[in-house]
Amino acid sequence: MKQKFTVLFDLDGTLVDTAPDLIHAHNHVMKKFGYPTKTLGELKNAVGKGAKAMMAKANGQWKWFDEKIKNEMTDEFLSYYGKNILIESKLVNGVEDFLNWCKKQNISMAVCTNKTEHLAVDLLKKIGIYDYFEYVAGWNTFEYCKPDPRTLNTIIEILDGDKNKSIMIGDSETDANTAKAAEIPMILLKYGYTEKRSNEIYHNHLIKDFLGIEKIVSKYL
């Protein structure tokens, strides 16, 4: 039996522009605990790294906080975000057309995100693209997460795929470093949730959105 080609997707900043809702959740926590809020521009580069990373970037005193307070703030963030996960978030341009194309090509698709698994699944369901994916892995799915290459290798193995017939699509150096370590080609979104410029991040192809990406992936089939 011929093995199917596998496309592995990051979620935040790749499939879905989640930054606005993540910023809202962050600012809700800051207000509740008496700290200044931040704009999307100030925090966009941190939103793909998780709640604690966002709050650490926004508040210089974070490293001095008691662990109990950090955990309370993180729990409040996750609770609020979970209830407001799809207020302003939207699919990146061309995503659904590309997912449909992959389905017609009999390509296996999976999500590998550092979002909590249940939040990733909830977002994918609510935004209407969950059924395209054969597997969804969050930071807490395995005993390891990105940038550990075992995340991608494990997903490919679960899908009965082959890493030599796989490609990663993401928007940050975390995605790129994971793909590089796993020895998988990388398609990088140009305007992702990262502080680095695209020319500083490992990639084989650079795109601004999903329009026309079929031409790139077709070369690997």
Higher-confidence residue of 126 and 58: namely 126
Report the alpha-carbon distance of residue 187 to residue 209 in Å, rounded: 11
Average predicted confidence (pLDDT) for the chain? 92
In the predicted structure, residue 2 carries a pLDDT above the cut 70: no
> In this structure, what token pair is assigned to residue 131?
């059924």
> In this structure, what token pair is assigned to residue 168?
């990663």
Report the alpha-carbon distance of residue 88 to residue 133 in Å, rounded: 23
Report the alpha-carbon distance of residue 169 to residue 176 in Å, rounded: 9
Contact 158, 107 (CB under 8 A): no
Mean pLDDT of the 138-152 span:
96
**What three-state secondary structure class fits 7?**
strand
Element holding 111 (H helix, E strand):
strand 108-112
For the segment 58-114, what is each residue's pLDDT rounded down to a tens digit? 777 777 788 898 899 999 999 999 999 999 999 999 999 999 999 999 999 999 999
Q: Among 3.40.50.1220, 3.40.50.1000, 3.30.70.1290, 3.40.50.720, what is the CATH number of 6-17+89-218?
A: 3.40.50.1000
Catalogue the active-site residues: 10
pTM of the predicted model as reported, rounded to 2 decimal places: 0.93
Report the alpha-carbon distance of residue 206 to residue 22 in Å, rounded: 25
- Non-local CB neighbours of 35 within 8 Å, separated by 6+ positions: 58, 59
**What three-state secondary structure class fits 20?**
helix
Q: Which of 11, 15, 184, 171 is nearest to 97 (CA)?
A: 15
Secondary structure of 148-198 in the HEC alphabet? Answer: CCHHHHHHHHHCCCCHHHEEEEECCHHHHHHHHHHCCCEEEECCCCCCCCH
**What is the domain partition of the chain in residue ranges?**
6-17+89-218, 19-83
> In this structure, what token pair is assigned to residue 205?
């192809």
In the predicted structure, residue 1 carries a pLDDT above the cut 60: no
Report the alpha-carbon distance of residue 14 to residue 94 in Å, rounded: 11
